[in-house]
Structure 1
Amino acid sequence: MSEEMLAEKAEAAAWFRQLRNDIVAAFEALEDSHDRGPLAEAAAGRFETKETARASEDGSDAGGGLMSVMRGGRVFEKVGVNVSTVFGTLGERAQAAMAARKGLPGMADDPRFWASGISLVAHMQNPHVPAVHMNTRMFWTPHGWWFGGGSDLNPCIEYDEDTGHFHATQKDHLDPHGLAHYPRLKEWADSYFFVPHRGRARGVGGIFMDDYCTGDWAADFALTQDIGRAFLPAFVPLVEKRRALAWTEADKDTQLIHRGLYAEYNLVYDRGTKFGLETGHDANAVLMSLPPLAKWE
């Protein structure tokens, strides 16, 4: 591996960690500033953070990260913000999947990998505040490197103006990289975050890319960074607008049923969930995306 690639991997991992720190601070600030409406008198939530580790077959160091979870806050019922940097060798199933998706028939000859990224899922107390998902990541093998990630909004009670703000903010962050990016990544998200067995999207979309590599590492990393930077200005204003609204038991029931849809998608279709479990990462960290409560009709 070249010195240049070692430096680029270190830069990416450090940036994902900094984004994690910024989001954790912003979410705890939302807890502190919630001073009216439902649950305003409750204790402000705080993240509990623990180190995670990837299990390797021979017991050697295989990397890990931080799992940060807040439960039972004023605003957030459960939110996880995980960051990790893991490495090792891909198992046969992962090799086959990688070869099929990336066109890398040589994976079996040298199945080493390195991956770093941030993953976030927030389930909210107030049904009027949308759930949300975001991740960005870099993946390396001796055969090449790729970026991926995005964010999508998952309201159980939809507000057109909230959807519009979320998408417009992402477009503003992508447009400096080329006007073709937003419509392409929006279409990608609409396709990826679709629940086939329900015949519907899991939310109101967002942006998404995977296996992204133009050959220009700096440009691709800059695009990935702006996907991450778009998240807080896209999401935080929606929380501030809706968190003090009163809700009914029927609203909460709607929220719990929608969470069931979210859980189905993450357990059946989500690539990140499958990759994390198949490569031996901490199962609790991989499954932190699941809601604390859900309901099925």
Structure 2
Amino acid sequence: MSAMMDEEKTRASDWFRQLRDQIVAAFEQLEDTHVSGPMSRAAPGRFEITETRRASEDGGDAGGGLMSVMRGGRVFEKVGVNISTVHGTLGERAQAAMAARKGIPGMAEDPRFWASGISLVAHMQNPHCPAVHMNTRMFWTPHAWWFGGGSDLNPCIEYAEDTAYFHETQKAHLDPHGLAHYPRLKAWADEYFYIPHRKRARGVGGIFMDDYCTGDWAADFELTRDIGRAFLPAFCPLIEKRRGQDWTDADKDSQLIHRGLYAEYNLVYDRGTKFGLETGHDANAVLMSLPPMAKWV
């Protein structure tokens, strides 16, 4: 399977880089065009780009990526857009988790893996602007390959029309692949982004899939690309609409409390956080999703 998948791996990795470039450009444009309202007199934010590397088990090169983080902008208080393409062998804990979760035989005999993807989390200055998460990825082992990812909206002040627009845009991108996809991926997101110890969802949902493999790589890759393509048109119009609204101290307090909820989920439940730390990826890149400030009551 390794030789057969080399071209597909390259195509996937290249796409995640293209999507990253589009998002970084769009977010810097949001900074430049915010010229009235709260924070508009601040300097427009810009991404700081850091190369990340993953060391292999023997200390050699095992791939890496780019960590792009903007802090203290007009619109974004902190946003990270990371891409990575890494490879190596899974440790015993990761092997056991993979075998238990995915039922893949032979991991102990041949624990090689390859993974590539994009991961994004945005925390906003204005409490009326929702935080957001997006990621898409491809994972390969000698025994199986699959795709995963999605995007979900995390407002501290909820607007029903914003939630509806976010979901409608995602549905429009998924429907060409079959009308069953959106309701299935929406339900998957509702289940995945639920916080059991709080007995609530961390936001207003979105779409999500994991371990996705129909056996048709081209079709699955195109679905994954449309999940990524849906992100900017689903999210940016909401920010353009809300970034100029005034906020109160109470609004900011609500935002900080909601960020605490977001941090709890990412540190306790998120599979990507656990996998990244267990496989030795750059800890700063893995924990990029954490907000700059949060509050607990």
Q: TM-score by structure 2 length?
A: 0.99
Structure 1 residue 136: deviation in Å?
A: 0.1
Aligned match of 1:142: 142
Counterparts of 1:105 and 1:143, CA distance in 2: 7
Aligned match of 2:258: 258
Aligned match of 2:217: 217
Q: Which amino acid aligns with 1:215?
A: G
5+ residue gaps, structure 1: none
Counterparts of 2:61 and 2:42, CA distance in 1: 41
Q: Which amino acid aligns with 1:269?
A: Y
Moved more, 52-61 or 251-260: 52-61
Counterparts of 2:8 and 2:105, CA distance in 1: 25
Aligned match of 1:270: 270
Aligned match of 1:204: 204
Q: Which runs of 4+ in 1 moved over 6 A?
A: none
Counterparts of 1:197 and 1:138, CA distance in 2: 30
Counterparts of 1:8 and 1:67, CA distance in 2: 23
After superposition, residues 1-297 of structure 1 pair within 5 angstroms as 1-297=1-297
Structure 1 residue 106: deviation in Å?
A: 1.1
Instruction: Give the conservation status (yes or no) of the 8 Å contact 2:57–2:89.
Output: no
Counterparts of 1:234 and 1:54, CA distance in 2: 33
Q: Against the structure 1 CA distance between its residues 53 and 227, is the aligned structure 2 distance closer, same or farther, given a 3 Å change threshold?
A: same
Counterparts of 2:250 and 2:172, CA distance in 1: 36
Counterparts of 1:99 and 1:4, CA distance in 2: 23
5+ residue gaps, structure 2: none
Counterparts of 2:186 and 2:293, CA distance in 1: 29
Deviations 1:116-135 (A, max 9, x none): 00000000000000000000
Task: Count residues with an aligned counterpart.
Answer: 297
Structure 1 residue 102: deviation in Å?
A: 1.3
Deviations 1:237-274 (A, max 9, x none): 00000000000000000000000000000000000000
Counterparts of 1:61 and 1:144, CA distance in 2: 23
